[in-house]
Structure 1
């Protein structure tokens, strides 16, 4: 099946490589303290890192679909990691970045269009949906590796906090996108196992699932419970509330450069 994919359809997009370059340069600027505004460098690093993770999230969906039988994936450009090829650029890139800026919440949107009729087997359909959140889990593990490996000696405080905040976004994305809400990957995991009648009843609500979840998180009680769970997971990975709090403060550079002790008390 994969032999139908040409080299051009697999070639990594210059757009994605540019995002990776921005992530790398801004990470270096945060580490070295070269920027006049550390907060702005943190903003570039976290935002570019977040968009890179969105691209990888959607690539995971597409690659899994390809190996499950949808050979139309290559022609759509999904294997190039180019975010401009996604079917819903607003949901895939713009809204997730706005969610981060507004509330510090990582929430990917629906992006790749998969021709489900080409795929046989309910487990394959579920795996395609699960591939995205699993990518966020892997990204979170990478971001938190210096914490749970106790390898933070010599790491500048600002870079440590930026990594912690980026990890928080990945954990929130993995949890929220795994909820069984129409329009999110969690619903996509269980949808193949639902009756046709239930699927038809739920289908009209799919376009509103993403916004509904984000809106629900503005309810103080829900927000508190959710972030308590996120903080518990991050603490298990060695990341403290102090790390993520100051990461978000540096990220919001427009509020002024934060004055913070270099290490948690």
Structure 2
């Protein structure tokens, strides 16, 4: 069975729990920030909730277990409801990845304070997965490739004329993204980013907690 999955059977329960939490908070964060800036679209469609059923995409969830990458249901956002569309758009896009960063930091903090206090191995493994997978989602979603949040941030930072051109070619960007992710190009493009950034983020957690509480 393991050969059909991106994770081992031992890891699978921790991955499933982590994905449910990570995807739910990620999409809720998008919806909440959009709502706070005046866009009721997500709220009206039942997305301003922490109920995972409203956020998980069955195919996207299954794919991440099999192929190692996937997606949740994107939160609908109507930029015309924002008083300052560019600023609000950036903050809405940032909200999802930052929610994953926060979950990773909280999980790391729990491990830092309680890992030596008789915590059951199940919870240690779960928290380690929470840290690792949420950092992965944080970094991955900030890549400047459509349809990721990093691309949406670049769109909002770009001048209007550049934004129009980006939108025009966005459909091809999505195809390029898929080619990069599912072909050997991944190990020469995205994988080097993860091999550098992921350890740096986790080491950053360690440095901060050791400095403040060590």
TM-score range, shorter chain: 0.7 to 0.9
Structure whose CA Rg is larger? 1
TM-score of the two chains, using structure 2 as the length reference: 0.75
Distance change in 2, residues 1:145/1:176 (3 Å) = same
Distance 1:219 1:151 in 2: 35
Distance 1:225 1:207 in 2: 19
Q: Which residue of 2 aligns with 1:98?
A: 63
Aligned length: 195
Q: Which residue of 2 aligns with 1:113?
A: 76
2:201 pairs with 203, 227, 233, which one?
Answer: 233
**Segment drifting more, 170-179 vs 144-153:** 144-153
Please tell me whether residue 69 in structure 1 is matched to residue 34 in structure 2: no
Q: CA deviation at 1:141?
A: 0.9
Distance 1:215 1:61 in 2: 27
Q: Which residue of 2 aligns with 1:245?
A: none
Q: Which residue of 2 aligns with 1:47?
A: 16
Distance change in 2, residues 1:100/1:233 (3 Å) = farther
Q: Do the aligned partners of 1:129 and 1:189 also contact (CA within 8 Å) in 2?
A: yes
Q: CA deviation at 1:41?
A: 7.4
Q: Which residue of 1 aligns with 2:209?
A: none
Distance change in 2, residues 1:56/1:159 (3 Å) = same
Q: Do the aligned partners of 1:182 and 1:205 also contact (CA within 8 Å) in 2?
A: no
Distance 2:14 2:21 in 1: 10
Distance change in 2, residues 1:219/1:63 (3 Å) = closer
Counterparts of 1:1-265 in structure 2, within 5 Å, are: 43-85=12-54, 90=57, 94-103=59-68, 108-109=71-72, 111-121=74-84, 122-149=86-113, 151-203=115-167, 204-205=171-172, 207-208=174-175, 211-212=178-179, 214-215=181-182, 219-222=186-189, 223-238=191-206
Task: In structure 1, list runs of 5 or more residues that go unmatched.
Answer: 1-38, 239-265
Task: In structure 2, list runs of 5 or more residues that go unmatched.
Answer: 1-7, 207-214
TM-score of the two chains, using structure 1 as the length reference: 0.62
Q: CA deviation at 1:225?
A: 4.6
Q: CA deviation at 1:77?
A: 0.5
Q: Do the aligned partners of 2:18 and 2:126 also contact (CA within 8 Å) in 1?
A: no
Q: CA deviation at 1:124?
A: 1.1
Q: CA deviation at 1:158?
A: 4.4
Distance 1:75 1:209 in 2: 33
The one-character-per-residue Cα deviations of 1:48-102 (angstroms, maximum 9, x if unpaired) are 231222111111111111111112332211113345545xx64xx5324522443
Relative contact order, higher structure (CA 8 A, sep 6+): 1
Distance 1:110 1:195 in 2: 28
SS at match of 1:214: helix
Cα RMSD, aligned residues only: 3.0
Q: Do the aligned partners of 1:62 and 1:78 also contact (CA within 8 Å) in 2?
A: yes
